[in-house]
Amino acid sequence: MTSPTASPSPGAPGLDIPEVSVTPGGTASTSLTVRNDSDIVEAYRLEVIGDCAAWATVEPERVSLYPGTSETVTIRLDPPRTPEVTAGEVPLAVRVLPTEHPEAVRVPETVVRIETFRQLRTEIAPRRRRGWLRGRYRLALRNEGNSPVQVGFEPAQPGEELRFAFRPTVRKLEPGESADVGLRVRTGSPVWFGSPMVLPFTVAVTETDQAGERPEPAEAPGGDRAPLDAEFVQIPIFPKWLLVVLAAILALLLAWFALVRPTVRSAAKEAAADAVVQARPTPGGAGDPGQEAGAGEQPGGGGSSAKPGTGTGGDGDGTGTGGAGDQQSSATIDLQTTQGSEKTGTYKVPAGKVFEITDIVVANFQGDEGVLTIDFGERKITTIALETFRNQDYHWVTPIRITENDTVTARVTCAKPGTPATGRRAQNCHEVLNVSGVLNSIG
């Protein structure tokens, strides 16, 4: 009867395989000695079975032995560096199948210790947010190591103008598990006027093992993991173009006080002086106490006395009849779009008019995701990704002319509705486009 045994103990009851340790992504090996205790020449086929079979091989896979002889084979272990090869002890078994006496099959076993390796993939999106007071970000995490980890977060910002809130603050990840963590960034006070303020910050992702201990930096691929970089752009409550409008209004008020009001006052004084003159008796009239006899006679006349003067103040026709002139004008396009669909809104320039556009303001107050395209007539002005802004404004020194019956078009493709200040995600995308300029008459 065939009886493969462990060397160097002829006649031993079983086969022994030494225990071995291996790190995923590396290579290790152990050995097995097969002995033929039968009285015939026997061939043995060796095959790894069990959890290690996918990444373990026997070299050679077949041996032939004379009676009383033995041969040592090598078992090579090449576990891949994936989360599926979890850390811990894994059984290793080799089936030794004799060709002549298959009923004498033996399956020696041992233990393979899979070493721990750590690999955590992190990403923050978007890298840049715009807002008045707050912005929302998403941390994407994936545990690509082979043991559970507990992940924490350490934000940092040079000027300390920002406050950070993570939800959840700590996250446990099993091998191969992915998760998203929400991050809300908030400033302490608003910016009323001026230029947008860029506030860079970083988020360091820390990890601990099951025992709550932090791994050494060398265990992470490439050494220390670099913090995630992002920016919050705090935009002013009132845009720059509003300052220009306020300055223009102030200049008009000053001009009115300096020019128009004195003119009105002078006209009032003149009207009062005319009324006094009209009420005063005409020299030489009947009511003049200093009148001398014959003073009112005309040369060569009959000596008749003059009547009192009755002067009349003539009211001039001051109504202007000029045609309709240029005037400031604005139009608003309000679009609400369901997720996954596209919607278009237009403003049509009236007949007989030319719209000279100098400013546009786009509002994405919910933080929707998608694409916004703005056209003036046949001309495409801009295409913007919604997730890159909350409020956006454009200004032109030289106005863009849109003739009569042409349109201002806003087209929104809604990829994902955002979350407004209420904290509840919206049902639809909601964007507002305001176009300002001068509406002129043709001719």
The domain segmentation of the chain, as residue ranges, is 20-114, 120-234, 327-441
Q: Give the pLDDT confidence score for residue 21 in this predicted structure.
A: 94
Q: What is the strand order of the sheet 120-125 is part of?
A: 120-125, 134-143, 178-187, 162-167
Q: Are 153 and 171 in contact (CB under 8 A)?
A: no
More confident site: 7 or 264: 264
For 120-234, CATH number out of 3.40.50.1820, 3.40.50.11540, 2.60.40.2310, 3.30.465.10 equals 2.60.40.2310
Q: Which two tokens stand for residue 325?
A: 């002139």
What is the average pLDDT across 83-101?
Answer: 93
439 residue type, one letter: L
- Residue 421 reports pLDDT greater than 60: yes
CB burial of residue 319 (10 Å; 0-12, 13-18, 19+): exposed
Q: Give the pLDDT confidence score for residue 6 in this predicted structure.
A: 38
Model confidence at 255, pLDDT cuts 50, 70, 90, reads confident
More confident site: 15 or 374: 374
What is the average pLDDT across 219-227?
Answer: 57
> Looking at the whole model, is its pTM more than 0.85?
no
Please identify which residue in the block is written with the tokens 């009324």: 275
Helix (H, G, I), strand (E, B) or coil at 262: helix
20-114 in CATH: which number?
Answer: 2.60.40.10
Helix (H, G, I), strand (E, B) or coil at 422: coil
- Residue 364 reports pLDDT greater than 60: yes
Helix (H, G, I), strand (E, B) or coil at 377: coil
Fold of 327-441: Jelly Rolls (2.60.120)
Q: What is the strand order of the sheet 342-348 is part of?
A: 342-348, 407-416, 369-376, 379-385
Q: Are 225 and 121 in contact (CB under 8 A)?
A: no
**20-114 and 120-234 agree in CATH topology:** yes
Q: How far is CA 233 from CA 186, 202, 387, in A?
A: 11, 14, 13
Angle, alpha carbons 132-134-135 (nearest 5°)? 110
432 residue type, one letter: V
130 φ, ψ to 5°?
A: -120, 140
Distance CA(115)–CA(36), nearest Å, equals 35
